[in-house]
């Protein structure tokens, strides 16, 4: 991670963190895992990889890590983090490829129907299996568009399957 690049929310990083502001706390710079937390919608650090509690928040990149415990564990954590990040990259790539495969003429056509016409009226003239199928096409094309926009987590369009809500 560098200043110039936004951290990737699917990845985990090892970052320098400050010791707790306590009188008996050794004045070390520790290393901590740094990851995106969905619940708090923020990047969070954890305890040092040596096991000591630390002050929340990453220190500037390049800050020298001085805790002997953290330095000892660093190679093992580097490996674990790299393995984790590699798996997440493969997952992202698989999702992206799947989404790209959803760029079909049929999905695009149904997406235009959804976007430009009276979806509720048109689908009310269909059987439920038929409109579920049409909605699947719209959702698939919508996933493709979201992937193009770099928003992998976007939900399917609201009201797409209005008939489910009425049940
Ligand atoms: Zn430490």
What are the pLDDT digits (tens) for 97-125? 998 999 999 999 999 999 999 999 999 99
* Mean pLDDT, rounded, for 44-48: 96
Instruction: Find the 122 Cα to ligand 1 centroid distance in Å.
Output: 63
* Mean pLDDT, rounded, for 84-107: 93
Instruction: Find the 55 Cα to ligand 1 centroid distance in Å.
Output: 12
d(CA 97, CA 103): 10
Given a contact cutoff of 8 angstroms between Cβ atoms, the answer to whether 20 and 55 are in contact is yes
Given a contact cutoff of 8 angstroms between Cβ atoms, the answer to whether 138 and 155 are in contact is no
pTM over 0.75: no
Given a contact cutoff of 8 angstroms between Cβ atoms, the answer to whether 97 and 152 are in contact is no
d(CA 128, CA 123): 8
Instruction: Find the 134 Cα to ligand 1 centroid distance in Å.
Output: 55
For the cut 80, the answer to whether the pLDDT of residue 63 exceeds it is: yes
Instruction: Find the 150 Cα to ligand 1 centroid distance in Å.
Output: 36
């Amino acid at each position: 991670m560098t200043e110039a690049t936004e951290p990737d929310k699917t990845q985990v990083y090892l970052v320098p963190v400050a010791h707790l502001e306590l009188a008996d706390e050794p004045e070390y710079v520790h290393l901590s895992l740094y990851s995106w937390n969905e619940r708090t919608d923020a990047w969070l650090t954890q305890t040092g990889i040596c096991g000591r509690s630390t002050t929340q928040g990453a220190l500037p990149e390049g800050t020298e890590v001085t805790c002997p415990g953290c330095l000892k564990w660093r190679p093992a954590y580097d490996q674990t983090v790299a393995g984790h990040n590699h798996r997440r990259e493969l997952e992202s790539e698989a999702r992206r490829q799947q989404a790209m495969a959803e760029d079909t003429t049929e999905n695009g056509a149904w997406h235009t129907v959804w976007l430009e016409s009276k979806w509720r009226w048109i689908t009310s003239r269909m059987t439920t299996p038929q409109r579920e199928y049409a909605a699947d096409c719209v959702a698939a094309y919508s996933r493709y568009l979201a992937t193009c926009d770099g928003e992998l987590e976007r939900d399917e369009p609201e009201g797409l399957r209005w008939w489910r809500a009425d049940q």
